[in-house]
Chain A
Amino acid sequence: MESFRILVCFKIANELESVIAQDWESARDANFDIDYTRPEIGCFEEGALETALTIRDAENDNGAAIPVLTTLTIGCPSVLPNVAKRLFACGFDAVHAIRTDEDLRFQPERTAACIAAYILQYGPFDAILMGCQANPGNHGKVPLAVAAMLELPYVGQVRDLVRQAEGFQVVAADPLPYEQLIFGPAVYAFCNAKHTYLRVPTLREKLAVSDKAPEYMPEETFAGFASAWSGRRENRVTSLRHPVLKRANVSISGATPDEKAVKLLTELRQHGFLAKGSV
Chain B
Amino acid sequence: MAFLRKEASDMDTCIIWIHGQSAPGVLQSLLAASDGAASLLLFGAADAAPYLHMGFRSVKAVQCKSLTIHDFHVQQAVSFLTVSEDVGKHLRYILSETVKTNELAVRLAIATGGTSLLGAETLAVRGTESVCTRRVYGYNLVAETVIAAKPQCITVKPNAEAPPVRLAPCPCTTVTLPEEAPTWCTAPIRQAAPARNALVDAKLLMVAGRGIGGPDGVAEAKRTARAYHGALGCSRPPVLNGWMEADDLIGVSGVSVAPLLCFTFGISGMMPFLLGIEKASCIVAVNTDPNAAIFHNCDYAICEDCILFLQALRRLSGST
Contact = CB atoms under 8 A, between A and B. Distances in A.
Contacts of A232: 113, 115, 149
A239 B144 contact: yes
B256 interface: no
A24 interface: yes
A179 B188 contact: yes
The 3 closest A-B pairs by CB, nearest first: A148-B110, A144-B106, A261-B312
Given A156-B99, A257-B311, A233 B140 contact: no
Interface in B235-294: 239-240, 246, 249, 253, 260-261, 268, 270, 274, 278, 281-284, 291, 293
B317 interface: yes
Given A139-B118, A179-B188, A251-B300, 20 more contacts: A16-B270, A106-B136, A109-B110, A141-B106, A148-B110, A148-B111, A153-B185, A157-B99, A176-B193, A183-B185, A196-B240, A236-B146, A241-B142, A247-B283, A248-B299, A249-B301, A261-B309, A261-B312, A279-B227, A279-B318
Interface residues of B, number: 88
B229 interface: yes
Interface residues of A, number: 83
B282 A258 contact: no
A21 B315 CA distance: 35
A233 B148 contact: yes
Nearest to A135: B138
A234 B299 CA distance: 41
Contacts of B274: 245
B145 interface: yes
A152 B123 CA distance: 30
Given A153-B184, A176-B193, A264-B284, A237 B143 contact: yes
A21 B296 contact: yes
Contacts of A173: 99
B141 A181 contact: no
B98 interface: yes
B190 A156 contact: no
A241 B145 CA distance: 12
A257 B116 CA distance: 52
B253 A138 contact: no
A24 B253 contact: no
A136 B136 CA distance: 6
B191 interface: yes
Contacts of B143: 30, 106, 237, 239-240
27 contacts: A17-B268, A21-B296, A109-B115, A139-B118, A140-B119, A141-B106, A141-B118, A153-B75, A157-B99, A173-B99, A178-B191, A180-B185, A180-B186, A181-B185, A183-B184, A192-B239, A192-B246, A192-B253, A238-B145, A240-B141, A247-B298, A247-B299, A252-B302, A257-B309, A261-B316, A265-B320, A268-B282
B304 interface: yes
A40 to B, nearest CB: 12
A264 B282 contact: no
A250 B191 contact: no
A235 interface: yes
Nearest to B262: A273
A180 B309 contact: no
A145 interface: yes
A242 B146 contact: no
Interface of B: 74-75, 98-100, 102-103, 106-107, 110-111, 113, 115-119, 134-149, 182-191, 193-194, 204, 227-229, 239-240, 246, 249, 253, 260-261, 268, 270, 274, 278, 281-284, 291, 293, 295-305, 308-309, 311-313, 315-320
A20 B296 CA distance: 11
B297 A174 contact: no
Contact of B312 (A149, A241, A257): A257
Contacts of B139: 138
A154 interface: yes
Given A174-B99, A236-B148, A179 B189 contact: yes
A273 B263 CA distance: 11
A164 B74 CA distance: 25
A271 B281 CA distance: 11
A30 B134 CA distance: 14
A170 to B, nearest CB: 8
Contact of A233 (B115, B138, B194): B115
A269 interface: yes
B320 A278 contact: yes
Interface in A150-190: 153-154, 156-157, 173-184, 186
Contact of A176 (B186, B191, B284): B191
